[in-house]
Amino acid sequence: MIKDWTDCYLSSRKKTGFVCTLQLPEKFQRFWGLNDIQKMLSYAQDQNKSNVYLSLNAFKYGSRQETSLMQIRNLGVDLDIYKVGASIEEAIDEIQVMIMDDTLPEPNLFVQSGRGLQLIYGIEGGAAPKISWLSRYITSQYIAKLAFLGADTRTTDPTRVLRFPNTINQKNQIKATVEIWNPVEYTLQELYRYVTPIEEIRKTRRKKKQGVVIFPPPKGVVDLYSLNTKKKDDLELLVQLRQSKMTGYRNTFLYSYSFTIALIVKTQAATIVFARQINEKFTEPLLKKEVDVTAKSAYDDATKFLKAFAENNYRMRGLASDLVKPEKSSTIIEKLNITEEESSPN
């Protein structure tokens, strides 16, 4: 049971590793363990500080790189409702309708971050880093469901930080507030019940299943999503590293990104939403029509691949040579002219 919002981040069952606070614009990081909760709160809520963020997950002391990930503690969805012209009241109404309709689980924490909203799903007892691909997959599908409320596609990255509750948003001097909506944390399997099973191609409208989820899925499926959910975050990071200057690579990048996204979200509409959002980050964006055409083409190719992959017992060997398949890292590096510094930014 969650008695305080900090229980989602640090508790007697979540004590492996350290959570990290990030202070902007200085990019100053500090790491906190189970015995540091009060010190962390005092540090973050100092009246002289603003723009303090908190990691969703736990790491080895001193590093917030994914290679230092020690425990998956939360899934988070960041809703930039101001970008879609929605008020807090309207967004809350929409979220509650989805919860009552069993299309979205009730978040454990509901954070009003100053200009947007954050939904935090606590993982009971934490989860092992080796299944971060599943946390990425689930989060991506929740983002797709909440795209109409401005869900940020980047929160699938397990190294992600979100606004620290009860601290000031410097952009408008509003304090972020936090409420406990659901005091009972989830297992990843429980959160998985709300998404399209990874073996299925298309999403169908269905009520939440109360039975036991058959898990884990076939090894070939795990291998596919272990690579491709990470690839999504790597492609988004590339745009950031290039400071959004993707001229000369926009169409190539957008197809690779959309194909990867389509494998995860499994609907054409959601694939287009993700593609449009990444395109908006380019210093010279493509026309919306071009983005949609590329995203639809990538979605069609991804759907054909998933169908053939399933029919081939989830094996890559033996697939038709003319079938578009997930690209190897070496292929993407060559196509996008990725430098050694960009492929190893940390």
DSSP 184: S
* Residue 216 pLDDT: 61
Q: How many CA atoms lie within 13 A of 179 on its CB side?
A: 7
State pLDDT tens for residues 189-246. 999 999 988 877 654 444 444 444 445 678 888 899 999 999 999 999 999 899 888 8
130, 247: one domain: no
110, 47: one domain: yes
124, 225: one domain: no
22, 153: one domain: yes
* Domain tally, the chain: 2
Cα separation, 232 vs 190, whole angstroms: 24
Tell me the three state secondary structure of residue 22: strand
Average pLDDT over residues 290-303: 97
273, 224: one domain: yes
- Residue 278 in any domain: the answer is yes
179, 225: one domain: no
- Residue 87 in any domain: the answer is yes
Write the secondary structure of 78-125 as one string of H (helix), E (strand) and C (coil). Answer: EECHHHHCCCHHHHHHHHHHHHHCCCCCCCCEEEECCCCEEEEEEEEE
- Residue 271 in any domain: the answer is yes
Q: Has residue 77 got a pLDDT over 50?
A: yes
Residue 139's nearest CA partner among 124, 154, 117, 126 is 154
Q: Has residue 277 got a pLDDT over 60?
A: yes
State pLDDT tens for residues 97-128. 999 999 999 999 999 988 899 999 999 999 99
Residue-range definition of the domain harbouring residue 10: 5-191
- Residue 282 in any domain: the answer is yes
Structural tokens at position 124: 């009971």
End-to-end, the C-alpha distance of the chain in Å comes to 37
329, 260: one domain: yes
159, 301: one domain: no
48 contacts: CB under 8 Å, gap ≥ 6: none
Structural tokens at position 33: 């363990």
Structural tokens at position 151: 């869900």
State pLDDT tens for residues 153-163. 888 999 999 99
184, 249: one domain: no
- Residue 42 in any domain: the answer is yes
Task: Among 174, 191, 208, identify where a domain stops.
Answer: 191
64, 152: one domain: yes
Contact 99, 84 (CB under 8 A): no
60, 137: one domain: yes
Contact 302, 262 (CB under 8 A): yes
- Residue 208 in any domain: the answer is no
Q: What is the β-pairing status of strands 19-23 and 28-32?
A: antiparallel
- Residue 35 in any domain: the answer is yes
State pLDDT tens for residues 257-273. 999 999 999 999 999 99
* Residue 210 pLDDT: 43
Q: Measuring CA to CA, how many Å separate 30 from each of 19, 72, 310?
A: 8, 18, 45
Structural tokens at position 46: 């100092």
CATH number of the domain that 149 lies in?
3.90.920.10
Cα separation, 291 vs 281, whole angstroms: 13
187, 226: one domain: no
Q: What is the β-pairing status of strands 117-127 and 161-163?
A: unpaired
DSSP 203: -
- Residue 257 in any domain: the answer is yes
Tell me the three state secondary structure of residue 67: helix
Q: Measuring CA to CA, how many Å separate 260 from each of 150, 222, 257, 325?
A: 20, 15, 5, 10
User: Amino acid letter at 298?
Assistant: A
